[in-house]
Amino acid sequence: MKKFRALLCAIAMIVALSCAPVLVSAQGGASVFTGRVTIDGAPAPANTRVQLSLQATGALVGESLTGSSGLAADQYRIDVQSTGVQPNATLEFSLEGVVTTEKPTATFVANFVIITQLDFISGTPTPVPTATPVPPTATAVPPTATPTVVPPTATAVPSTATPAPPPTASPSPIPPTASPMPTATAPPAATPTALIMNLIGYQAALAGTNYRLQLEIVQPRGLIAIKGALAYSPEKFEFVEAAGGRGSRKGDQISIYVLRPGHIEFSFERSEGLDRSTPIVELSFTTVGPAGEVGDFEVRDLSAVNADRQEIVVAARTVPKVVLIPHATKGDVNEDGKIRVDDVLRTLMAIVGSGSLTDTQAIAADVAPMPVSPRISGTCGDGEINLQDAMIILRATTGIVDLGACNASAR
C-alpha cells in the first residue's frame, strides 16, 4: 500500500509541475526516458535514431528508433540501466546523422520514467562565415582613408551641395506613406469571424454505448445570447439528454428542443455576457448503428448578439465524421492487449501535453468515473482524460481495480 501511495504522489507531481521532464516511478531496476521528437518544429519521421550519452564523457548509454515497439512514429523510448551511470548525471540527446544547434539534456534518476520532449533544430553554420569576413572589411578601410585627399573633397563639396537640396526635396514620398492610411480602414471591414462555435467530441465511438459532445463558444467578445441547430445521423446516434457544460453557471438560460430525430435546436443566454472561451452545453447520445458505420454531426443556423444587441457573425467548427468501432479495451491505451505501466505512461503524456492519443486510445484511457455497480453498463468515462483516469489505470495495473465492468460495457 505504501508503494502504491508513493506512485500516486508521483502522478500528482506531474500535474503540479507543468515543466519538463516529468518523472513517474518505473519498475525493473532501469530508468526509462521517453517522449516525442521534433526536428525544426515538425514531428520526427519513424525510425529516427535517438542516442543518449553522458555529457561529461560522451559515452553512449542507450539508443532507440522512433516508432519502434508499438510507439508513435515520432516517439522514442530508451531504457538505461542504473549500473554504470552516476545519480544526477547529466545526459544529452542527439540524433544519428543529424547535425543540430543544441543537444537537449536530462538528469539521470534511478528507477524512474522520465518524460522528455526533444525539440531539435538542425545546425546552420551561417554564424561562422559572417564572423570571419569582418577582418577583411577592416583592412579595406586604410585604402579608403589614403585617397581622401582633403583638396579634392573640398572642391567636391560645392558640387555635392547644389544637387543635395533637390534630391532631398524631390523624395517627398510622404504622399505614398500617407496613402497606406486607407489600408488601416480595410481591416474593420474584414472581421467576419467574431465568434466561433466549436463542437468537441471523439472521432470514434464505441458501438452500443454512450457518446458525448461539448458545444463550446470560442472568442465570445461580449456575447450574451446564441442559438442554433445541431443535425446528426439518427440511424447512428440516438439523443439521450442534455446538460450544462463545464463553463455554464447558475443563472444561465439553456434550452434544448428535439424537434425530430436527427435535429436538435439549442439556445444559450447569459445576461452579464461571456468573457472567455466556454463549453456551454453537453449532449449525450447512444450509438445505435453497427460497428464500421460512419455518422456525422453538423452545427447550423447560428446567430448571436452582444450586450449592445448587435448581431455577431458566427463560424462553426464541426466534428469530423465519427466512426463506430467494435470495441476498445478500457485501460489498454497502447492497444497491446494488456494493462501495464506503459498504459499509465501514455495517459500521463497526453495529460501533460507531451504526447497525443488516437480516438480509440482516448476512449481506452477514459475510464473515470467507474460504474457504481458491475451490473451497470455504459457509465465508464466522462469524455475527458485527466489525472483521475491515470490513477484508475495505475490501480488496475496493481490489481486493486478491476476494469472488467468498463470493458463489458465497452464491447
Given a contact cutoff of 8 angstroms between Cβ atoms, the answer to whether 114 and 22 are in contact is: yes
Higher-confidence residue of 282 and 411: namely 282
| 341-352 helix and 2-16 helix, angle to the nearest 10 degrees | 20
Higher-confidence residue of 395 and 181: namely 395
Torsions phi, psi of 266, nearest 5? -135, 155
Residue 105 to residues 33, 42, 71, 124, 380, Cα–Cα distance (Å): 11, 20, 21, 20, 40
Say yes or no to pLDDT of 253 above 70. yes
Say yes or no to pLDDT of 21 above 80. no
For the chain, what percent of residues have pLDDT higher than 70? 70
Torsions phi, psi of 105, nearest 5? -125, 160
Residue type, 232: Y
| Lowest mean pLDDT across 68-77, 147-156, 330-339, 367-376 | 147-156
> Is residue 324 very low, low, confident or very high in pLDDT (cuts 50, 70, 90)?
confident
Instruction: State the pLDDT at residue 124.
Output: 57
Residue type, 236: K
pLDDT (average), residues 284-295: 83
Higher-confidence residue of 114 and 198: namely 198
CA distance 27 to 14: 18
pLDDT (average), residues 10-21: 46
Residue 114: how many other CB atoms lie within 10 Å? 22
Q: Where are the domains of the chain?
A: 19-120, 195-325, 341-409
CATH class belonging to 19-120: mainly beta
Higher-confidence residue of 239 and 155: namely 239
Closest CA to 346 of 36, 104, 64: 36
Closest CA to 111 of 5, 10, 15, 1: 10
Instruction: State the pLDDT at residue 18.
Output: 37
Instruction: State the pLDDT at residue 131.
Output: 47
Instruction: State the pLDDT at residue 6.
Output: 47
Q: Is 331 left (phi over 0), alpha (psi -120 to 50) or beta?
A: left
Q: What is the pLDDT of residues 210-233, one digit of tens each?
A: 788 888 888 777 888 999 999 998
Residue given cell 560522451 in the structure block: 58
Say yes or no to pLDDT of 92 above 90. yes
Instruction: State the pLDDT at residue 154.
Output: 40
Say yes or no to pLDDT of 117 above 90. no
Instruction: State the pLDDT at residue 348.
Output: 92
CA distance 17 to 5: 18
Q: What is the pLDDT of residues 167-215, one digit of tens each?
A: 444 444 444 444 444 444 443 333 344 678 888 877 777 777 778 888 8
Closest CA to 254 of 234, 241, 232, 269: 269
Q: Do domains 19-120 and 195-325 have the same CATH topology?
A: yes
Instruction: State the pLDDT at residue 101.
Output: 84
| Lowest mean pLDDT across 11-15, 30-34, 155-159 | 155-159
Cα 326 from chain centre: 27
pLDDT (average), residues 286-290: 83
Higher-confidence residue of 192 and 289: namely 289
Instruction: State the pLDDT at residue 50.
Output: 94
Q: In sequence order, what are the residues at sequence separation of 6 or more whose Cβ sits closer than 8 angstroms to the Cβ of residue 95? A: 37, 39, 44, 48, 49, 50, 51, 120
> Is residue 140 very low, low, confident or very high in pLDDT (cuts 50, 70, 90)?
very low
Cα 397 from chain centre: 27
Given a contact cutoff of 8 angstroms between Cβ atoms, the answer to whether 254 and 267 are in contact is: yes
Contacts of range 370-379, beta carbons closer than 8 Å, 24 or more positions apart? 370/401, 370/405, 370/406, 371/405, 371/406, 371/409, 373/405, 374/404, 374/405, 374/408, 375/405, 376/405, 376/409, 377/209, 377/405, 377/408, 377/409, 378/209, 378/210, 378/286, 378/409, 379/210, 379/409
Q: What is the pLDDT of residues 256-272, one digit of tens each?
A: 888 889 999 999 998 88
Say yes or no to pLDDT of 153 above 60. no
What CATH number matches the domain at 195-325, 2.40.160.40, 3.40.50.1820, 2.60.40.680, 1.10.10.10?
Answer: 2.60.40.680
Residue given cell 483516469 in the structure block: 389
For the chain, what percent of residues have pLDDT higher than 90? 12
Q: In sequence order, what are the residues at sequence separation of 6 or more whose Cβ sits closer than 8 angstroms to the Cβ of residue 192? A: 313, 315
CA distance 77 to 64: 6
pLDDT (average), residues 382-408: 82
Instruction: State the pLDDT at residue 133.
Output: 52
